[in-house]
Amino acid sequence: MDFGIGFLSNNVMLPILDFFYGLVPSYGLAIVALTLVVRTAVFPLSAGSIRSARRMKVVNPLMQERQKEVKERYKDDPTKQQEELGKIFKEFGNPLAGCLPVLFQMPILFALFATLRGSPFSDINYTANVQVLPQDKIEQLQPVAFATKPQNIYFSDDHHTKIAAVIPSGNRLAVGDKVAIEFKTLEGESLTELVANYKDADLTPQWSITKGDEVISISPDGTITALQPGDATLQGTVPGLAANRGFLFIKALGRVGATNPDGSINWDIIAMVAAFGVSLFASQQLTSQGNKTEGEPTAQQAQQETITKVTPVLFSGMFLFFPLPAGVLMYMVIANIFQTVQTFFLMREPLPDNIQKLLDDQTRKEDAAVNRMAFEPKGGKAKMKTVDVEATPVKSTPANPKAIVKKRTKKRNK
Burial of 405 (0-12, 13-18, 19+ CB in 10 A): exposed
The β-bridge relationship of strands 159-167 and 182-185 is antiparallel
What is residue 368's predicted lDDT score, i.e. its pLDDT?
65
What's CA 139's distance to the chain center, in Å? 53
Torsion of CA 44, 45, 47, 49, to 10 degrees: 160
Taking CA atoms, 332 is separated from 36, 73, 122, 282, 375, in Å, by: 11, 50, 16, 14, 57
Whole-number Å distance between alpha carbons of 239 and 243:
7
Whole-number Å distance between alpha carbons of 241 and 165:
18
Contacts of residue 115, defined as CB under 8 A and 6 or more positions apart, other chains included, come to: 9, 13, 14, 17, 34
Amino acid, res. 71 = K
Q: Mean pLDDT for each 10-residue chunk of the chain (414 residues)?
A: 63 78 79 83 77 72 73 74 72 61 70 74 83 78 82 76 84 83 83 75 81 85 85 85 75 73 77 82 70 51 66 70 76 83 77 68 64 54 45 48 47 47
The DSSP code sequence of 238-293 is EPPTTTT--BTTBS-TT-BSSB-TTS-B-HHHHHHHHHHHHHHHHHHHHHHHHT--
Amino acid, res. 189 = E
Whole-number Å distance between alpha carbons of 154 and 240:
7
Kindly report whether the peptide bond that precedes residue 312 is cis, defined as omega within 30 degrees of 0.
no
DSSP 213: T
Q: Taken in order 77, 80, 83, 87, is the CA torsion positive or negative?
A: negative
The β-bridge relationship of strands 146-147 and 124-133 is unpaired
What is residue 196's predicted lDDT score, i.e. its pLDDT?
74
Residue of 239, 6, 211 whose CA lies nearest to 123 = 239
Sheet with 216-218, strands from edge to edge, namely 178-180, 223-226, 216-218
What is residue 394's predicted lDDT score, i.e. its pLDDT?
46
**What crossing angle do the helices spanning 326-346 and 27-41 adopt, rounded to 10°?**
40
What is residue 92's predicted lDDT score, i.e. its pLDDT?
65
Tell me the sheet residues that pair with 209: 234
